[in-house]
Amino acid sequence: MRQIWIMVLCMSSAAVTFANAVPAWSAEQITCTGKIVNEQGQPIAGVEVKLYRVAVETESLSYKLGLAQERTTEADGTFALKTEGGGDEYSGQAIILAGKEGLALGWANWRLQADSEVEIALGPPTVLAGTVVDEAGNPISDADVGISFMLVQAGGQPRYLVGDMSLELLTAKSDAEGKFSFNRIPAAASAEFLIKKSGRATISTFDPQNFQGGSLQYTGGQTDIKITQPLGATIEGVVVEKVGGKPVGGMRIMALRGRNQPTFGLEPVVSRENGTFSIGGLAPGQHLLQVVSPPGETTAWIAGPVEVLTEAGKTQGGVKVEVTKGGVLEVLVTDSVSGQPVEGATVSVQPAGGGTGSGNRTDKAGIAQVRLAPGEYEIAYLHKQGYSRQRLPQDTITVEDGKTVRVEQELTSLPKITGVVRDDQGRLVAGARIKVCPWGQGETTSDSEGRFEVRRDAPNRAPSVVPYVVARHFERNLAAAVEIGEDQKVVDVNMTTGVTCAGKVVDVDGKPIENARVYLTFWSSGHGSSMAHQEKTTDADGYYEIKAVPRHYRYSVNAGAEGYGQDYVHISPEDARDRFMVETISLATADLSISGIVVDSEGKPVDNAQVSCQGRGQPHRRTQTDENGQFTLESVCAGKITISSYKSVGEYLYGRTETEGGAGDVRVVISQRPTSTRYEPKRPPSLIGKPLPDSKALGAGLLPGDTEGKRLLVCFWDMQQRPSRHCLTQLAKQAEMLKDKGVIVVAVQASKMDQKALDEWVKTYKIPFPVGMVQSSFEKARFSWGIRSLPWLILTDRTHIIRAAGFRVNELSEKIREMTDGKP
């Protein structure tokens, strides 16, 4: 399972990645140029831009940020940052953090391999706030609260920000009421927290095993966060040699939460000269003590994991960690073509059948050494930037005490594409953004002489897929896409004037949506590549422009907005000259929720299971089940939606269900081998025996002011349906009788139509009671009022508790009689 942790720390190929070894930076200076803009793409001057280098030790899963340089943007919003380049994907990473008072923070990730160019958009800030409480729910003051991870999507790609309690903007103190607040959070961001206080457990809210990459647990604008910080537990013990019992000093000991779950923020402790150690700040529960290697070294001793059960506020003493020399696994990694050793490859090893693993990176000789307890192991993860990710043979490796065993692994280097970019006058173009689509690895920027170098996936991965080198220069509106031959290694790109794709994003009523996020996807052979380097936002009229689009190719324009779903349209600007008008994208309002339960194959509720949703037109949402297996996904749209759930508990459980936005009582079954996708129809809840819902959605003033002590009859109908019109005219004929029986009647048009036409019909047929129209989402109103078809009658007693619903108009007298006999 250790490779999961490494992949989580890596975050994504475009984001922050880390190394076990101490980075060895080259002396070569590389530059990141960029621009800070507002949501309308206009430059922002006077923004503080800071470059942080990231250093992480994967054995202890700890990371530190070091401020390398800071600048302030010019009048045109531009900045330039320089630092030493070198390393690989795990030893050359940086975060560019931008901030200005009154605006939300913004950031980008920089792989320190070459010069780069970024654009960071700063929008209005929102708040992320909550409370730190103890086990009894009482507030905890003076707790250190830090944002440990934060994520935003830019052009369909994630940008990650990590914090280590050293960044002032990402730290806070809880007040006397236990409250904490961060007020410069992007509205579209999601985050995780780290909580520390002397005498209490260090709490990390981040659970990598439930992390899918699309969103973290807490979202911008959330102010009801509650984090429980119990009293801290302590483990005291001694490290001794298994044979002879001699104390061993200088050993790094790390405590994991159960199996495979270290707590971010807890550093390993080092045993004293007499072998003793103490680990405090632990959450109560099961912990696993593990010996970890010093950075960049192979530990001299190894120990099997030691299980310790801790209690809040107590010290568990007398723990003994017995160490042996164990055995050493040497993994030689070579290039599959040249046979030369590959330096800096990450090797992760885990016990056969799963469990806590370990790892290291290869040296100049291509060898990674890992000291292990005797047992059966397998290579779980092997990778280096510039090489293909490939499925490893799950061969079992036997490690014996006092012996060294060597295995060999090969990595296949990805084909390198080099070239030069020119404009239509034959002049060299610097600053063009270059990417291989699809399946390229990263993107780059052409240098001052127009040169570039990119990597593509191996051609045999999918021979039918045609890859392209796509080049775009936004300031000059130049673009090109050049097909790459199977064995081609040099691609010269001649850029011409690009197409400007323009369009609008609107809601279902055709009203423009401001600040919708829009980006382009390049399609080839049925595979899409996100053009993440130019995300745009719509203006007040819902309008956007995407420049420097290569003509004659297929794309999709993707759009999403806060409070709405997301959707796309396919385009092919074959014959466009300068501009291409994109079909208007309509986004549905995300004002519904889905609730339900996750159970295992035996029908037992599953707590802490990850739950997410997806579907055409739907936003991506993510949550976690509570202790009873219950979940709620907020802010989804009407229409079909797929609910997926998984949990890793030594075994991987997964399942999914199709339903509709607004559904309640959805049941998701997860198992090792899930059956085919089930369909859960949307069933409006029964309101019998419940109070009448809030009548505001029916229209202001629809219900008379004096309703106390009177029964209510609400008729939901649709003037455009014959059965509904018949129902309403029948109720009009009974109006006097109903009034004598103390029944107040109101009618509600439950589908969209012209208000003037509705008023005319009511006047023509002399309807004697109030007739309104649903004022919010029709779909949401139908669901919240339990409507399954139209017309739909709801009858309450004198206390406005619903006693009958969904009956026919000719059954009304009987329903009233039943209520009169029962005297409700």
Q: Tell me, what's the pLDDT at 445?
A: 82
Q: Tell me, what's the pLDDT at 378?
A: 87
Instruction: Mark which of 449, 471, 496 sits at the end of a domain.
Output: 496
Are residues 818 and 699 part of one domain? yes
Instruction: Specify if 421 maps to a domain.
Output: no
Instruction: Mark which of 97, 121, 145 sits at the end of a domain.
Output: 121
DSSP state of 723: H
Q: Look at the chain and report how many structural domains it folds into.
A: 8
Are residues 797 and 714 part of one domain? yes
Local confidence band at 27 (pLDDT 50, 70, 90 cut-offs): very low
Local confidence band at 76 (pLDDT 50, 70, 90 cut-offs): very high
Of residues 501, 481, 395, the one with CA closest to residue 438: 481
Share of the chain above pLDDT 90, in %: 41
- Summarize the confidence of residues 84-92 as an average pLDDT: 63
Q: Tell me, what's the pLDDT at 160?
A: 86
Dig out the tokens for 487 from the structure: 């064995």
Q: Tell me, what's the pLDDT at 358?
A: 76
Positive or negative, the CA dihedral 711, 717, 723, 728 is positive
Using CB atoms within 10 Å of the CB of residue 721, give its burial: 0 to 12 exposed, 13 to 18 middle, 19+ buried.
Answer: middle
The DSSP bridge partners found for residue 334 are 341, 410
Are residues 104 and 19 part of one domain? yes
All residues at 6 or more sequence positions from 167 whose CB lies less than 8 Å from its CB, including other chains: 65, 97
Q: Tell me, what's the pLDDT at 26?
A: 41
Q: Tell me, what's the pLDDT at 2?
A: 40
**pLDDT at 504 exceeding the cut of 80:** yes
- Summarize the confidence of residues 44-59 as an average pLDDT: 85
DSSP state of 695: G
Tokens 């550093």 correspond to 267
**pLDDT at 250 exceeding the cut of 50:** yes
Task: Tell me the residue type at 220.
Answer: G
Are residues 295 and 399 part of one domain? no
Using CB atoms within 10 Å of the CB of residue 673, give its burial: 0 to 12 exposed, 13 to 18 middle, 19+ buried.
Answer: exposed
Share of the chain above pLDDT 70, in %: 85
Best mean pLDDT range from 234-248, 430-444, 604-618: 234-248
Q: Tell me, what's the pLDDT at 87?
A: 56
Neighbouring CB atoms inside 10 A of 592's CB total: 24
- Summarize the confidence of residues 395-416 as an average pLDDT: 88
Instruction: Compute the chain's Rg from CA coordinates.
Output: 31
Of residues 640, 648, 582, 573, the one with CA closest to residue 610: 648
Q: Tell me, what's the pLDDT at 668?
A: 93
**pLDDT at 313 exceeding the cut of 50:** yes
Are residues 363 and 258 part of one domain? no
**pLDDT at 260 exceeding the cut of 70:** no
Q: In whole angstroms, what separates CA 652 from the centre of its chain?
A: 20
Q: Tell me, what's the pLDDT at 158?
A: 76
More confident residue, 214 or 718: 718
Local confidence band at 392 (pLDDT 50, 70, 90 cut-offs): low
The beta-strand segments (E) located in 38-143 are 48-57, 62-72, 78-84, 93-99, 106-111, 116-121, 125-133
Dig out the tokens for 76 from the structure: 């045109």
Dig out the tokens for 406 from the structure: 């060597």
Instruction: Specify if 506 maps to a domain.
Output: yes
The DSSP bridge partners found for residue 711 are 743
Dig out the tokens for 2 from the structure: 């250790």
- Summarize the confidence of residues 605-628 as an average pLDDT: 87
More confident residue, 21 or 231: 231
Pairing of strands 225-228, 233-241: unpaired
CB 752 within 8 A of CB 685: no
**pLDDT at 89 exceeding the cut of 60:** no
- Summarize the confidence of residues 265-276 as an average pLDDT: 92
CB 679 within 8 A of CB 704: no
Instruction: Mark which of 307, 323, 339 sits at the end of a domain.
Output: 323
- Summarize the confidence of residues 401-412 as an average pLDDT: 90
Least confident of 161-170, 384-393, 734-743: 384-393
All residues at 6 or more sequence positions from 485 whose CB lies less than 8 Å from its CB, including other chains: none
Instruction: Specify if 48 maps to a domain.
Output: yes
Tell me which residue range forms the domain holding 375. 327-411
Tokens 């055709």 correspond to 510
More confident residue, 634 or 177: 177
- Summarize the confidence of residues 170-180 as an average pLDDT: 96
Least confident of 207-211, 236-240, 277-281, 363-367: 207-211
The DSSP bridge partners found for residue 381 are 348
The beta-strand segments (E) located in 155-274 are 157-162, 171-173, 179-186, 190-196, 203-204, 218-219, 225-228, 233-241, 252-257, 269-270
CA–CA separation, 325 and 95 (whole Å): 40
Least confident of 155-164, 466-475, 651-660, 735-744: 155-164
In which element (H, E) is residue 784 found?
helix 778-784
Peptide bond into 791 cis (omega under 30): yes
Positive or negative, the CA dihedral 42, 43, 48, 50 is positive
Positive or negative, the CA dihedral 808, 814, 820, 822 is negative
CA–CA separation, 383 and 1 (whole Å): 16
CB 53 within 8 A of CB 111: no
Q: Tell me, what's the pLDDT at 106?
A: 94
Are residues 805 and 711 part of one domain? yes
More confident residue, 359 or 499: 499
- Summarize the confidence of residues 123-146 as an average pLDDT: 94
Local confidence band at 698 (pLDDT 50, 70, 90 cut-offs): low
CA–CA separation, 158 and 11 (whole Å): 9
Of residues 631, 792, 791, the one with CA closest to residue 719: 791
More confident residue, 602 or 569: 569
Residue 108 region, left (φ>0) first, then alpha (ψ -120 to 50), else beta?
Answer: beta
Are residues 551 and 476 part of one domain? no
The DSSP bridge partners found for residue 95 are 52, 109
Instruction: Specify if 686 maps to a domain.
Output: no
Least confident of 77-86, 237-246, 384-393: 384-393
**pLDDT at 570 exceeding the cut of 90:** yes
Instruction: Specify if 690 maps to a domain.
Output: no
**pLDDT at 700 exceeding the cut of 60:** no
Residue 294 exposure: Cα atoms within 13 Å on the Cβ side: 8
All residues at 6 or more sequence positions from 813 whose CB lies less than 8 Å from its CB, including other chains: none
Least confident of 27-36, 150-159, 227-236, 718-727: 150-159
Instruction: Specify if 423 maps to a domain.
Output: no
Instruction: Specify if 687 maps to a domain.
Output: no
CATH number of the domain where residue 39 is located = 2.60.40.1120
Q: What is the mean pLDDT of the chain?
A: 84
CATH number of the domain where residue 256 is located = 2.60.40.10
Positive or negative, the CA dihedral 254, 258, 262, 266 is negative
Are residues 215 and 294 part of one domain? no
Phi, psi of 67 (to 5 degrees): -70, 120
**pLDDT at 440 exceeding the cut of 90:** no
Pairing of strands 493-494, 443-445: unpaired
Q: Tell me, what's the pLDDT at 421?
A: 96
Instruction: Specify if 160 maps to a domain.
Output: yes
Least confident of 306-320, 328-342, 347-361: 347-361
Are residues 598 and 564 part of one domain? no
Phi, psi of 187 (to 5 degrees): -60, -30
DSSP state of 43: B
CB 336 within 8 A of CB 411: yes
CB under 8 Å, gap of 24 or more: what pairs does 727-736 form?
727/791, 727/793, 727/809, 728/765, 728/767, 728/771, 728/791, 729/765, 730/809, 730/810, 731/769, 731/809, 731/812, 732/765, 732/766, 732/767, 732/768, 732/769, 734/812, 735/768, 735/769
- Summarize the confidence of residues 342-355 as an average pLDDT: 80
**pLDDT at 508 exceeding the cut of 80:** yes
Best mean pLDDT range from 308-312, 352-356, 435-439, 685-689: 308-312
CA–CA separation, 447 and 5 (whole Å): 35
Of residues 365, 378, 308, the one with CA closest to residue 334: 365
More confident residue, 369 or 822: 369
Helix (H, G, I), strand (E, B) or coil at 754: coil
Are residues 443 and 380 part of one domain? no
Q: Tell me, what's the pLDDT at 143?
A: 96
**pLDDT at 10 exceeding the cut of 50:** no
Are residues 509 and 485 part of one domain? no
CB 443 within 8 A of CB 435: yes
CB 611 within 8 A of CB 630: no
**pLDDT at 246 exceeding the cut of 70:** yes
Are residues 805 and 704 part of one domain? yes
